[in-house]
Amino acid sequence: NAGVMQNPRHLVRRRGQEARLRCSPMKGHSHVYWYRQLPEEGLKFMVYLQKENIIDESGMPKERFSAEFPKEGPSILRIQQVVRGDSAAYFCASSPLAGPYEQYFGPGTRLTVT
């Protein structure tokens, strides 16, 4: 039973390029959460999605960041025109239902902006 999959595990981008981070939730999970972990900090909530819907994006920067979770395929976190401050680990989590269920985390994508 595969866990949450994220790819790539490591991503290097130059300033101004686009970064696309992918997350495949656990089988049977239709709720996806994205968190960002800046160096030496805890994780911070970015966005919560269900299939084809963004439910809460209150933690997402207003510009350059977007997320989607299409009917088919993985959830995508997209960062346009990356800047050095975007360097962080981005974690995806999934749960089977909304509500107070365990969120199972993927291994994270470590984005480095040079």
Partner 1 sequence: AQKVTQAQTEISVVEKEDVTLDCVYETRDTTYYLFWYKQPPSGELVFLIRRNSFDEQNEISGRYSWNFQKSTSSFNFTITASQVVDSAVYFCALSEGVLNTGFQKLVFGTGTRLLVSP
Q: Summarize as ranges the residues that interact with partner 1 (CB under 8 A).
A: 31, 33, 35, 40-45, 48, 55-56, 59, 89, 91, 93, 98-108, 110
Taking the complex as a whole, the smallest distance from the CB of residue 18 to partner 1 amounts, in Å, to 23
- Identify which of residues 85 and 99 has a Cβ nearer to partner 1 in the complex: 99
Taking the complex as a whole, the smallest distance from the CB of residue 6 to partner 1 amounts, in Å, to 10
Contact between residue 78 and residue 63 where contact means Cβ atoms under 8 Å apart = no
Taking the complex as a whole, the smallest distance from the CB of residue 48 to partner 1 amounts, in Å, to 6
**Residue 7 CA: distances (Å) to CA of 16, 23, 40, 69:** 21, 7, 22, 15
CA proximity to 91, closest of 49, 45, 40: 45
